[in-house]
Structure 1
Amino acid sequence: MMVIYMEEITFSSQKDLYNRIEPALRSRAKLLHLKGFTSITEKDIWDYLRLNKWIKETGLELCELVDDILHCEDKNILLYCHDKYMKDNSSLEEIFEMPKLKE
Structure 2
Amino acid sequence: MAVQFEHLFTKVRPAIESKRNEFQLYGYSTVTEEDIWAYCVKKKWRKKDIASMRVHEIVNGILQVLPAEYMTYSQIEEQRASDWFSDLNSAELQMLLAPPKSRSDLS
Tell me, which stretches of 5 or more residues in structure 1 are unaligned? 1-11, 95-103
The residue type paired with residue 73 of structure 2 is Y
SS in 2 for 1:13: helix
CA distance in structure 1 between the partners assigned to 2:65 and 2:13 by the alignment: 16
Q: What's the CA shift string for 1:48-101, capped at 9, x where partnerless?
A: 11011212213311001001111122211111111223333323xx8xxxxxxx
The alignment's TM-score, normalised by the length of structure 1, stands at 0.68
Structure 1 or 2, whichever has the larger Rg, is: 2
Partner of 2:6: 15
Bigger helix share:
2
Structure 1 residues 1-103: aligned runs within 5 Å: 13-58=4-49, 59-91=52-84
* Aligned pairs, number: 83
- Please identify runs of 4+ aligned residues in structure 1 that moved more than 3 A: none
CA distance in structure 2 between the partners assigned to 1:41 and 1:84 by the alignment: 16
Partner of 1:6: none
Q: Provide the alpha-carbon RMSD of the alignment.
A: 2.4
Q: Once the two structures are aligned, what percentage of the paired residues are identical?
A: 25
Alignment check: 8 A CA contact 1:40 1:81 kept: no
CA distance in structure 2 between the partners assigned to 1:62 and 1:83 by the alignment: 28
The alignment's TM-score, normalised by the length of structure 2, stands at 0.66
CA distance in structure 2 between the partners assigned to 1:46 and 1:25 by the alignment: 7
